[in-house]
Chain A
Amino acid sequence: MSKVAAIIERCQALYEDLDFKAVQEWKNAAPKRKVVGYMPVYVPREIAHAAGILSVGILGGGDQLEVIQGDAYYQSYICRIPRSTIELGLTGKLDGFDGMLFPSICDVIRNLSGMWQILFKDKYVRYFDVPQNYEDNIGGTYYVHELEILRDDLAKLAGVEITNEKINRSIEVFNENRRVIRELYAYRAAKPWQAPTTEIYLLQRAGMVLPVEEHTQLLRDYLAATEAEPRQMRDNARVVINGTFCEQPPLNLIKSIEMAGCYVVDDDFMLVTRWLLDDVPSDGDALDNLSKAFLHHSASTSAKYETKREEKGQFLLQQVTERRAEGVVFACPSFCDPALLERPMLQDVLSAHGVPHTAFKYAENTGQMAPIREQAGTFADSIKLWSAA
């Protein structure tokens, strides 16, 4: 087996492991280790890391989990991720977790935080509210205080003190991880045939469960290994995927888009790893630095307010330009208000700039890929025709 294949096989096994065995193994490896889960889109993982806590991204059950109990908690017109997450909880798959963080992204996740408080009374649960006001002395002050609460709660959970210095060290560790991920994304955009998105996706998923240091190393190994294994270049259309920031598309859907003739050159998968756009200073007041990074240097997504009309779509446009993308594929979870309400605004901006786009919906357990493959194929063909003309 090639080196790349071995790395991807490992990631695939982590992705398929809905019992979080790797997490359990990490936990069992030393006494008193603690684990907290977090939902998409963003939580400051540095703080958990500074307490020695492993933070684990919970991204629903995908298409491998049969949801039985979870369906009894949600009406048919609510997206799937909360029901499969509840299923994971009720079937004991998250028993090894000591807590859960629910970021403020939408009303479904917000309300799920309260459901978790009721259903899992012995666990630490926090709804992590982030500011929609980006002034340092307003939203920043509020956010630093929220970070302090989280820091104190996690310190208590872990039974350690979380000093400023410890957080600064963790910031460095995460800066390193973010740097390698930026490198990985730049590499894919430069040579998409060498780094297919199914692989990038699995590598990123591995980052949801592995300790960050291990993940950083894994990405380095992958970059070296794939560069050493030349693959065939195709005449594919270069696209950005948008809308996938929360409930995840099935892996087959990503495969289908690629097989239909698209090179994905940017996306919004697992934004937590790319939320902060630059290195966060790792000296000085750590919480203040995390706050400033959040307020002034973070990714744009539907869950974040844009103060001016002119800002709308600029982040996506920049992705398109910098990655030399030829079009955008909007892939949004069914019943996802944040993604589906954002979409027309982004489409509007893209149209105004002559960027082609196409759109479809999915659920994490979508099984029928033929229509999506067909749509993505037609889109890729039209882009190629257009660029040939």
Chain B
Amino acid sequence: MTTPATAAMPASSKKPQVQKEDAMWLQKELINRNYQELATAHERGKKISATFVPGNLNELLMCFDFARSLPETNQLQNGMRKKSGKFIMDAERDGQSEDVCTYVKSDLGMMLNGQVGPTGDPLPRPDLLLLSYTGCFTFMKWFELIRQKFGGETVMLHVPYQGDGKINPNMRDYVVKQLKETVIPALEKVSGVKFDIDRLRQYMRESAKAEEDLVAVLQSAKNRPSPIDGYFGGVYYIGPIFTAFRGTPDASKFYGMLRSEIEQRVRDGKGPITPDGEMTSERYRLVVEGPPNWTSFRDFWKMFYEDGAVVVTSTYAKVGGLYDFGFRHDPDRPLESLAEYCMGCYTNLNLPQRIDMICKYIEEYQADGLLINSIKSCNSFSAGQLLILREVEKRTGKPAAFIETDLVDPRYFSAANVKNRLESYFQMIEQKRAAQH
């Protein structure tokens, strides 16, 4: 999929702020702890669920004490650790086409290579594949493929697409009914735990708290200079909330800590922290559409901050939940709210909605333009991006540019190419500015 997250923030070579260090430390600890929980789940008598990032039902899964694995996150971790290239080739040798989504192949390759997760901990096969079918058709094939090859039970949550640019009551009722009559009974059966709606409400309360803080963090980029990078840094910010931690007190703690640190940066007039230290001059403010490349994540980011380009906001930071337009998990309407969450994730929006959102971002974040990172693997994001580019340029009058990479297939990252494109894009922005003065 699409997905984010739980990428650990690359360490800064300069001395980081104490609070920053705390948030980073906590995030790393969360990720590692989750992998350990997965590794030991069966010994501890727990069942393992796998589910996708967009539309993930983390709060619900917690009600059944599942250890929670997110396949896209595992693969992006493998990508960052340079393991995905081999996995992809192994999956291709095993019969997968070179044309299809590389997350799927990396996951299959990882499983073929003996169920060891990105951190080196064992990653046992999931007992339940919760196929919440949000924003991408490939998900369906992904879990069918795992089921075909390695067994396991699948349960489907079909989330209708916002083809008309809105959620109608029929769509919501359909999702709620599936939750009640298909998903929850399946979770009860596999876990042996009875569903308790009050437990769900409690987790959702925690989710809403963290969501509030996350939005404050992401919107801090409206300041000049932006105290964060909303794409490369954004990946680190969305990590816990888009994965196994939404709804936990740990996530609330993390986002509370992160928010106060970022607010301090705003008060101090500071720019974002990058792997090479604090960015001191903000020359270009960009909005980015599309997921990042994981196999060369650091080099990719460097091409931006070296030239003083900060990504003020990105659509990718919304794949696991779109919170900045007001949605919060609502404990008073738990199932309806879960349904709305699933239907509201970024890739479940139709093209006109995606364009509106990007145009709005360009205006609200005072961006110089739009950069699209088109991912070879991902039709869900990529099909239609060239029209998005044209429309956004037309409507905002700001320059837009297009680069092409892949998520986790190192064969499709050409550093020289990307760098050239970026440099000419920055020049284009300069020219536009000069023409305006």
Contact = CB atoms under 8 A, between A and B. Distances in A.
Interface in B215-236: none
Given A138-B181, A335-B99, A107 B386 contact: no
A343 B98 CA distance: 13
B351 A344 contact: no
A306 B385 CA distance: 31
B386 A306 contact: no
A22 interface: no
Interface of B: 94-97, 99-101, 104, 131, 133, 136-138, 140-142, 144-145, 147-149, 151, 154, 156, 158, 160-161, 163-164, 170-171, 173-174, 177-178, 181-182, 350-355, 374, 376, 379-380, 382-387, 391, 404
Contact of A142 (B141, B156, B170): B170
B136 A133 contact: no
A107 B136 contact: yes
A133 B101 CA distance: 24
Nearest to B385: A75
Nearest to B176: A138
A386 interface: no
- Give the dominant DSSP class at A's interface: helix
Contacts of A361: 97, 99
A114 B352 contact: yes
Given A118-B355, A118-B391, A75 B374 contact: yes
Interface in A208-230: none
Contacts of A336: 99
Contact of B158 (A108, A139, A141, A334): A139
A112 B156 contact: no
Interface residues of A, number: 59
Nearest to A333: B99
B384 A141 contact: no
B189 to A, nearest CB: 14
Interface centre among A115, A139, A361 (most CB of B within 10 A): A115
B99 A138 contact: no
Interface of A: 72-75, 77-78, 82, 102, 104-108, 110-115, 117-119, 126-129, 131-133, 135, 137-139, 141-142, 145-146, 302-303, 305-307, 309, 312, 332, 334-338, 340-345, 347-348, 361
B137 A75 contact: no
A126 B168 CA distance: 14
Contact of A340 (B97, B140, B178): B97
B100 A337 contact: yes
- Give the dominant DSSP class at B's interface: helix
B386 A113 contact: no
A312 B101 CA distance: 21
Contacts of A118: 351-352, 355, 387, 391
B140 A305 contact: yes
A72 B386 contact: yes
B431 to A, nearest CB: 23
A72 B389 CA distance: 11
A78 B138 CA distance: 14
Interface centre among A78, A105, A342 (most CB of B within 10 A): A78
A111 B384 contact: yes
A72 B382 CA distance: 13
Contacts of B147: 309
9 contacts: A110-B163, A111-B380, A115-B351, A117-B352, A133-B182, A139-B158, A336-B99, A344-B145, A348-B149
B96 A344 contact: yes
A305 B155 CA distance: 10
Nearest to A343: B97
Contacts of A108: 379, 383
A338 B353 CA distance: 25
A337 B148 contact: no
B141 A82 contact: no
A135 B141 contact: no
Contacts of B101: 337, 341
Contact of B382 (A78, A105, A131): A78
A102 B161 CA distance: 12
A118 B351 CA distance: 8
Given A142-B170, A306-B144, A334-B99, A82 B383 contact: yes
Contacts of B173: 141-142
Nearest to B147: A309
Given A75-B382, A118-B355, A142-B160, A341 B141 contact: yes
B177 A312 contact: no
Contacts of B163: 102, 110, 113-114, 126-129
A361 B98 CA distance: 11
Contacts of A102: 163
